[in-house]
Structure formats: structure tokens, C-alpha cells
Amino acid sequence: MTTRTPGQGSEDLGEQLLRVARGLRRAWMVDLSAHDLSPHEARALRVAADRQDAPRLRDLADALRIAPRSVTDVVDALEAKGYVARQPDPADRRASVVLVTEAGHAVRAAVQEARRRTMGDQMGALTPAQRAALADALTSLEGTFDPGKRDQ
């Protein structure tokens, strides 16, 4: 039987990190399914809700780093669920803005709380010193990526 020593090599650490990320993503998918949202819909709703002004479809696509046609599909799905509404842009009536509805704000808050709870459950397995070390390590790793290609 082979015993694994945590952090034996960078490849092992990378694999460990990927396994943890996959586990967190699976937990996130369960949280989202309870609210009938896909990850793309949840991200679009978050971006639209967090904006000071209602974003145009193009602005939403740029913020999500997806094609305008893809953002249309995501907004269509959110609109069908009653979480957003499209209205003509007051500055340019040829364009549309995405307004988050009251139901959209409520589901956004519920999803955010579910995520906090899930992450809290996961991070609760670590001591305060381990959480601090993890935060420091992840901050260092994030700095190695091209900011233009980083996911939001």
C-alpha cells in the first residue's frame, strides 16, 4: 500500500487542488440546482445584480467573457424564470438593458447564502492557521495568471 504525503511535489499539489476544486464545484452545482439555476445563469444574475446601473447585453457578455449570442440565451432563461427583465436602454433605445427583478434579487441572495454556507462547511475542516496559509497560497497562485483571462 502506498501512502501519500501531502504536498510531495507540485504535480501532486496540482492534482490535489483540482480534486478539491471539483468537489467544491459539485457542491456548488447542488446549491444551484436547488434554485433551478445553471452556473452561467448564476454568474449572469450575480453580475447584473452587482452593477450600479442595469447592464446592456453587450456589457454583460463582456463581463462574463462569453459571446453576445450566448448571453442572449442565458438572459432568455433568466427572464423565463422571472429573475430579470429586459428594457430598452434609456440612452439608446436600439439596445436593451437587463434589470434584475425582486425575485431575481431574492434568488441571488439565497444562492449567495447557500454558497457561503457550503464554503463555510468546507473551510470548517481547516484550522485558522491552515485557512490563513491557504488564503496566502491562493493569493500567490492567482497572481501567476493573466488577469485578462481570469474567471470572475
* Inside any domain, residue 41: yes
Q: CB neighbours of 21 closer than 8 A, spacing ≥ 6?
A: none
Domain count, the chain: 1
Q: What is the pLDDT of residues 95-133, one digit of tens each?
A: 899 999 999 999 999 999 999 998 888 888 999 999 999
Question: Could you give the angle at the alpha carbon of 136 between the alpha carbons of 13 and 151, nearest 5°?
Answer: 75
What's the domain range around 68? 36-124
Residue pLDDT, tens place only, 53-74: 999 999 999 999 999 899 999 9
User: Is residue 85 classed as helix, strand or coil in its secondary structure?
Assistant: strand
Indicate whether 134 belongs to any domain: no
The upper half-sphere exposure of residue 33, i.e. CA atoms within 13 Å in the direction of its Cβ, equals: 6
Q: Residue 31 domain-assigned?
A: no
Residue predicted with more confidence, 78 or 34: 78
Classify residue 100: in a domain, yes or no: yes
**Burial of 140 from C-beta contacts in 10 A (0-12 / 13-18 / 19+):** exposed
Put simply, whether the predicted model's pTM sits higher than 0.85 gets the answer no
> Is residue 53 domain-resident?
yes
Task: Determine the distance from the C-alpha atom of residue 126 to the mean position of all C-alpha atoms in its chain, rounded to a whole number.
Answer: 23
Is residue 104 situated within a structural domain?
A: yes
CATH code, domain with 70:
1.10.10.10
What are the cell numbers at 31?
446549491
Residue 4 belongs to some domain of the structure: no
In a domain? residue 56: yes
